[in-house]
Homo-oligomer: A and B are copies of this chain.
Amino acid sequence: MMKVLNRIKRTYQSDEIRQRFLDGKFGIEKENLRVDAGGNLSLIPHPDVLGDKNDHPYITTDFSESQVEMITPPMNSVHEALGMLETIHDIVSENIGDELLWPQSLPPNLPEEEKIPIASYGEKGRAKEIYRELLAEVYGRERQLISGIHFNFSFPDQMLGQLMRLLAPNQDFELFREEVYLRMVRNFMRYRWLLVWLMGESPVAHDGFKVKSLKTGEQYPIRCRNGMSIRTSPGGYRNREALYPDYSSVKAWKQSVQFFIDEGKLSDEKELYMPIRLKFEADSTRISHLEVRIIDLDPFEKIGVREENLHFVHLFLLFCLFVDEADTFRAEQQKLVNSNQDIVSCHGLCETVSLITFEGDAVQPRVWAGSLLEEMEQIFSSFGFLEHPRYHKAMKLVRQLVEDTEMHPAQRLLREIDEQGFIEFHMRKAKDYKALSLAKGFCFYGFEDMELSTQMLLKEAVRRGIDFEILDRKENFVRLTKDGRNEYVMQATRTSLDNYSSVLMMENKLVTKKVLKEYEIRVPGGGHYTKAEEALLDFLLFENRPIVVKPKSTNFGIGITILKENNDYSVFKRAVEIAFEQDDSILIEGFEEGREFRFFVINDDVVGILHRVPANVKGDGVCTITELVQQKNQDPLRGKGYRTPLEKIALGEAEEMFLKSQNLDFNSIPGKDEVVYLRENSNISTGGDSIDYTDEIHPSYKKIAVRAAQALDVKITGLDMMIPDIKIPAAEDNYAIIEMNFNPAIHIHCFPYLGKNRKLNQKILDALGF
């Protein structure tokens, strides 16, 4: 081993390059039972709103109709896979009505066995139902309800190629690759007791929980007071008979498994319940990835698994690749390592229990764990892995557990259950997690760096079972695929629905205005200039009229000056100069009275209307402005740096100055219901509020917005309209369209400060035909 590590270290001298051996594809599968408010297994069918579970790539059912299975596709990092899992989890939580997701591997209150609903798949999924009936027969429905986490991992072939160049340059790549995975599986089997010891979280079951004996077929209650994980114990998920496949090659393994099937010990390869599974490419004997199946649900985590734990599992897999093998892993040797797992599962909390090393020596788990961690650290430090913050943290946590077994999650869990009761503790957690899910409904975890609009679109895509791929993360450019059809979407609203010239027209304020005018839609009058001199000549045209001077094609208010009384040539001149600093072409327009509203139009339909107001607080006659701001900033919709639909209100210089102009300061106490503004501008980015007006505005304005979209032949647009009085019907001269945006945000309409979620993510996917 050391030779290998030294060679790698010599070749790749930079930490960063060696850290690339952390690259991989990571996927997670998770089951949760649905329960009612009383902690009873749900007897309601899987909700239709979560799509067709026959072909939903992310959300389906496992054994039972009430056992939701959540599946992430292979992702580029553990962090991303967890984010994806959390998003799927949130989607499920949001769409199961008042039900909750049971956060424990072992089941809640169950009805009689025959009332536990087997998952139903309709006509086209009949085969799945038959298989489940077989499982119910052999293992009992209760046992099949035991839920957990599966963790999928594969190396990028490119990386394995690099590894081979270093270790066995003349070997056949496919042989090398197979051997890498098999070696990892063998070592995983050898050392897997460690994962149970560190992460086992099903130490006790609910009082009434019984499983069917795999030998006698009788129901018996599960009790295992010193155990860490009933789920991974012999009382948990096991084959009828212990099986010892041949792990020397894929061919040998396949042969041995076929032998078990021929002997009637298994119905199928997939019935082989192992702590780690070899997975193959479709119709092939080429290994696609490894599936770690030994991880219990973590009731202390909303999504059932702690990020550090999965990072450690990843490290553990890499350890299994590099650590030397103790033996050839014959049946006898497999029996030994299996029994180590059982000892930890059933008695791991007992301080005096011992495991048996490969040399046949008895050793306390804590002692062996300590020496394994040392070995790991030696390997990982030679790769620089522990310099990586996430992996560093994962390793640190594990080290703490070795030092203080009281901190073991199973131990903590037992204490909580003793105090609160099995059902009560888990139900309290389940409720907290649901509240968390609902409060952060705007977020697609793992993709928080992307725009909120894109996050929301993707989340809705996941609900609908649409495959997605991030084509260009920074550009928020994604591909959605369903039933063989691709849609390419940038920034949630730039789609194939619009034709290129319509977009170019929107991008060009001059053209937008000209065309709208021709359609008898009111736009601010004014001129377009490519030279400052020309603009200045027109001072006469605009003299004594309120005007806006702005660059032709910025989308964000930069370089815009409003002159309410245009009677000073030098001020006018400066405004022109400022606009020309932003673009080489500017507009001077009449300033329109009224408030500005954003109309969101999709396919000739106004689907949302929003108005923004500057950062403000409403007094209660008691609290200071500072306190009111702090209260308002508690809203989970408010955050910092555009990661939330609203931004926290700052208490900075700008706010201080603006308050001062009103003879106020941060310590002033506004009267009851008195609204105090802290800013002049209404941007969301400076703490402004977004208020939904979709149902408030006179419908005549919506007709104008739709006509404007039609004038430019636009399918998706965010159109800014000035309206002095939203209750008075639109007439020839009481509104003006300021701008049409080709990439309007959707999140502001989904999570406004006041008003309904207008579900524009759903409407865009509808419009795209998904």
User: Among the listed stretches A14-22, A64-72, A247-255, A651-659, which one makes contact with chain B, having 4 or more residues with CB under 8 Å of it?
Assistant: A14-22
Q: Give A132 Cβ to nearest chain B Cβ, in Å.
A: 36
B537 touches A20 (CB 8 A): yes
Q: Answer whether residue A438 sits at the interface, using C-beta atoms and an 8 A cutoff.
A: no
Residues of chain B contacted by A511 (CB below 8 angstroms): 471-472, 477, 488
- The residue on B at minimum CB distance from A537 is B17
B494 touches A496 (CB 8 A): no
Q: Answer whether residue A508 sits at the interface, using C-beta atoms and an 8 A cutoff.
A: yes
A499 touches B496 (CB 8 A): yes
B496 touches A713 (CB 8 A): yes
Please pick, from B474, B490, B508, B514, the residue contacting A501 in the complex, using a CB distance under 8 A: B490
B495 touches A501 (CB 8 A): yes
Q: Answer whether residue A663 sits at the interface, using C-beta atoms and an 8 A cutoff.
A: no
B540 touches A17 (CB 8 A): yes
Q: How many angstroms between the C-alpha atoms of A508 and B713 in the bound complex? A: 25
Q: Answer whether residue A475 sits at the interface, using C-beta atoms and an 8 A cutoff.
A: yes
Interface residues of A in 381-418 (CB under 8 A from B): none
Q: Give A377 Cβ to nearest chain B Cβ, in Å.
A: 24
Q: How many angstroms between the C-alpha atoms of A533 and B20 in the bound complex? A: 12
Q: Answer whether residue A631 sits at the interface, using C-beta atoms and an 8 A cutoff.
A: no
Residues of chain B contacted by A162 (CB below 8 angstroms): 540
Interface residues of A in 522-562 (CB under 8 A from B): 530, 533, 537, 540-541
B501 touches A533 (CB 8 A): no
Residues of chain B contacted by A158 (CB below 8 angstroms): 541
A488 touches B505 (CB 8 A): yes
Please pick, from B12, B497, B501, the residue contacting A489 in the complex, using a CB distance under 8 A: B501
A510 touches B474 (CB 8 A): no
- The residue on B at minimum CB distance from A528 is B472
Interface residues of A in 463-516 (CB under 8 A from B): 471-472, 474-475, 477, 487-490, 494-505, 508, 510-511, 514
- The residue on B at minimum CB distance from A541 is B158
Q: How many angstroms between the C-alpha atoms of A14 and B538 in the bound complex? A: 12
Q: How many angstroms between the C-alpha atoms of A500 and B488 in the bound complex? A: 9
B472 touches A501 (CB 8 A): no
Q: How many angstroms between the C-alpha atoms of A511 and B476 in the bound complex? A: 12
Q: How many angstroms between the C-alpha atoms of A489 and B499 in the bound complex? A: 11
Interface residues of A in 99-145 (CB under 8 A from B): none
Q: How many angstroms between the C-alpha atoms of A489 and B508 in the bound complex? A: 13
A499 touches B501 (CB 8 A): no
A501 touches B510 (CB 8 A): no
Q: Answer whether residue A585 sits at the interface, using C-beta atoms and an 8 A cutoff.
A: yes
B17 touches A510 (CB 8 A): no
Interface residues of A in 8-57 (CB under 8 A from B): 12, 14, 16-17, 20
Residues of chain B contacted by A474 (CB below 8 angstroms): 530, 584-585
Residues of chain B contacted by A514 (CB below 8 angstroms): 471
B472 touches A488 (CB 8 A): no
Residues of chain B contacted by A490 (CB below 8 angstroms): 501, 504
Q: How many angstroms between the C-alpha atoms of A692 and B158 in the bound complex? A: 41
Q: Give A19 Cβ to nearest chain B Cβ, in Å.
A: 9
Q: Give A521 Cβ to nearest chain B Cβ, in Å.
A: 16
Residues of chain B contacted by A20 (CB below 8 angstroms): 537
Main secondary structure of the interface of A (DSSP, over half): mixed
Q: How many angstroms between the C-alpha atoms of A494 and B504 in the bound complex? A: 9
| Number of residues from A at the complex interface, CB < 8 A | 41
Interface mask (A68-94 → B, CB under 8 Å = 1, otherwise 0): 000000000000000000000000000
Q: Give A263 Cβ to nearest chain B Cβ, in Å.
A: 44
Most chain B beta-carbon neighbours within 10 Å: one of A500, A504, A537: A500
Residues of chain B contacted by A540 (CB below 8 angstroms): 12, 17, 162
Residues of chain B contacted by A14 (CB below 8 angstroms): 537
Contacts A496-B500, A500-B498; A16 near B505 (Cβ below 8 A): no
B500 touches A495 (CB 8 A): yes
Q: How many angstroms between the C-alpha atoms of A12 and B541 in the bound complex? A: 12
Residues of chain B contacted by A494 (CB below 8 angstroms): 500-501, 504
Residues of chain B contacted by A495 (CB below 8 angstroms): 500-501
Q: How many angstroms between the C-alpha atoms of A12 and B537 in the bound complex? A: 10
Q: How many angstroms between the C-alpha atoms of A474 and B499 in the bound complex? A: 22
A16 touches B537 (CB 8 A): yes
Contacts A471-B514, A510-B471; A504 near B533 (Cβ below 8 A): no
Residues of chain B contacted by A16 (CB below 8 angstroms): 533, 537
B541 touches A510 (CB 8 A): no
Residues of chain B contacted by A537 (CB below 8 angstroms): 14, 16-17, 20
Interface residues of A in 176-222 (CB under 8 A from B): none
Q: How many angstroms between the C-alpha atoms of A45 and B612 in the bound complex? A: 66
Residues of chain B contacted by A742 (CB below 8 angstroms): 500
Please pick, from B498, B502, B508, the residue contacting A477 in the complex, using a CB distance under 8 A: B508
- The residue on B at minimum CB distance from A716 is B500
Residues of chain B contacted by A487 (CB below 8 angstroms): 501
Q: How many angstroms between the C-alpha atoms of A340 and B210 in the bound complex? A: 123
Q: How many angstroms between the C-alpha atoms of A490 and B499 in the bound complex? A: 13
Residues of chain B contacted by A502 (CB below 8 angstroms): 488, 496, 500
Q: Give A490 Cβ to nearest chain B Cβ, in Å.
A: 5
A508 touches B17 (CB 8 A): no
A501 touches B496 (CB 8 A): yes
Q: Give A83 Cβ to nearest chain B Cβ, in Å.
A: 19
Q: How many angstroms between the C-alpha atoms of A490 and B14 in the bound complex? A: 49
Most chain B beta-carbon neighbours within 10 Å: one of A499, A501, A530, A537: A501
Q: Give A467 Cβ to nearest chain B Cβ, in Å.
A: 13
13 CB-based A-B contacts, threshold 8 Å = A17-B540, A162-B540, A471-B514, A472-B511, A474-B584, A488-B502, A490-B501, A496-B499, A496-B500, A496-B713, A499-B500, A500-B502, A503-B503
Query: A residues touching B (Cβ–Cβ < 8 Å)?
Result: 12, 14, 16-17, 20, 158, 162, 471-472, 474-475, 477, 487-490, 494-505, 508, 510-511, 514, 530, 533, 537, 540-541, 584-585, 713, 742
Q: A488-B511, A496-B500 are in contact. List 12 more A-B contacts (CB 8 A).
A: A16-B533, A17-B537, A20-B537, A472-B511, A487-B501, A488-B505, A489-B501, A494-B501, A496-B501, A496-B713, A499-B499, A500-B503
